[in-house]
Amino acid sequence: MVHGHMGSWFWWVRNIVIGIFSLFFFVFGIEVLLGAYNLKQPQLFIMYFFSGSFITLISLVGILFPVFQIHAFLSRRHSGSEED
């Protein structure tokens, strides 16, 4: 198998690493959002709130990417086994 093809060991490792890092940044983004509510200055609240929202949004995309990749791989594999 070539390193970039679906189902190769490199493909699995890449998707798992993306998912783990995205989960870390998702938790970090939630922590930033919660921490923003403890700030007293409105300008800092706005900066922390929007940065936490942005981090959370980007990490959700990073979580969904491997989910859809693995779903597509398993769907193709399952439909290929039915044709035999």
For 9-19, write each residue's pLDDT tens digit.
898 999 999 99
Residue 8 lies in a domain: no
- The three-class DSSP label of residue 49 is helix
Find the domain containing 68 and state its range. Answer: 24-78
The confidence score (pLDDT) of residue 8 equals 84
- Residue 39 clears pLDDT 60, i.e. is over it: yes
What is the C-alpha to C-alpha distance for residues 82 and 16, in angstroms, rounded to an integer? 27
| Count of structural domains, the chain | 1
Residue 14 lies in a domain: no
The confidence score (pLDDT) of residue 82 equals 62
- Residue 4 clears pLDDT 90, i.e. is over it: no
Entry pTM = 0.80
The confidence score (pLDDT) of residue 77 equals 81
**Distance linking the first and last C-alpha atoms of the chain:** 21
Residue whose pair of structure tokens reads 């200055």 in the numeric block: 41
